[in-house]
Amino acid sequence: MLIVSGISKVTASEAMTQAFSLYKLLPYIEIIGILEIVGALLLLYLRTSSYGALIISSVMTGAVAMHLSYHNGDHLLIPVMLGVCAWTGHCLRKYNL
């Protein structure tokens, strides 16, 4: 899900361009997309999964802040759950739970 979202940001799809224009973050759309892709790929490899989880949770924290600022908390569940799932996946793999 993060890789697909990152690709749509890097390629500047119409939906992402409209959303980032609303947030006044259009100059940063490619950087955020690259961070999502890199974070998801780092999460796949055990030795770098903590870095991937850190990148993903940082990007999702920014998404939560934007949703709280511009949407009064609507649609907040997806970025929160993606950040939680990133850390849960990292911890489950690292500690063999």
Q: Confidence band (pLDDT; 50, 70, 90) for 62?
A: very high
Q: What is the amino acid identity at position 41?
A: L
Share of residues in the chain with pLDDT > 90 (%): 74
Quick one: DSSP state of residue 28? G
Is the backbone of residue 73 left (phi > 0), alpha (psi -120 to 50) or beta?
Answer: left
Is the CB of residue 56 less than 8 Å from the CB of residue 86? yes
Residue 53 pLDDT greater than 90, yes or no: yes
pLDDT of residue 20: 92
Domain segments of the chain as ranges? 2-94
**What pLDDT does residue 31 have?**
96
pLDDT in tens, 21-52: 988 999 999 999 999 999 999 999 989 999 99
Instruction: Taking each helix axis as running N to C, give the angle between helix 29-44 and helix 49-71, from 0 to 180 degrees, rounded to the nearest 10.
Output: 140
The model's pTM = 0.88
